[in-house]
Amino acid sequence: MTPAIFAESKLRDELLLLHDVHEKLKSRNNSIRAEFISIQIKAIAGRIDLILSQIDVVETAAIHLRLENLDYDLIAKLQKDRRVCPVTTPQTSASIKISLGTIRKLAEMTL
């Protein structure tokens, strides 16, 4: 989770803490406590969903794609895609950065 997209607030602090706890619980593989951990994960996920519905987003934060594999042909195609922001996505073959633009710009495109 990228905290920079959320405005500084108590909700953001709680969200980041819950996300960290959630990820740690998911990574545990202890069969004795599996049911307890499952219940905790569901409770934390529910609280995270509630916070996400109430939290303020920084509209100037940019959304970037992260690719697991360096597929240069795919990267070149993505750089030219109409949905990719040409201002924040370098248009050179040396660049692997793909930016969809800011949250504000993306919201304007969907309206």
Over residues 32-56, the mean pLDDT reads 81
Amino acid making up residue 103? I
Q: Which carries the bigger pLDDT value, residue 6 or residue 92?
A: 6
The residues spanned by each domain of the chain are 3-54, 62-110
Instruction: Give the whole-angstrom CA distance, residue 27 versus residue 110.
Output: 36
Over residues 20-34, the mean pLDDT reads 72
3-state secondary structure of 30: coil
Instruction: Give the whole-angstrom CA distance, residue 18 versus residue 6.
Output: 15
Q: What is the DSSP letter of 97?
A: -
Tokens of 59: 């509209």
Instruction: Give the whole-angstrom CA distance, residue 98 versus residue 44.
Output: 32
For the chain, give the mean pLDDT.
Answer: 80
pLDDT at residue 102 in the model: 81
DSSP assignment string, 51-91: HHHH--B-TT-EEEE--SS--HHHHHHHHH-TTS-TTTS--
pLDDT at 29 over 80: no
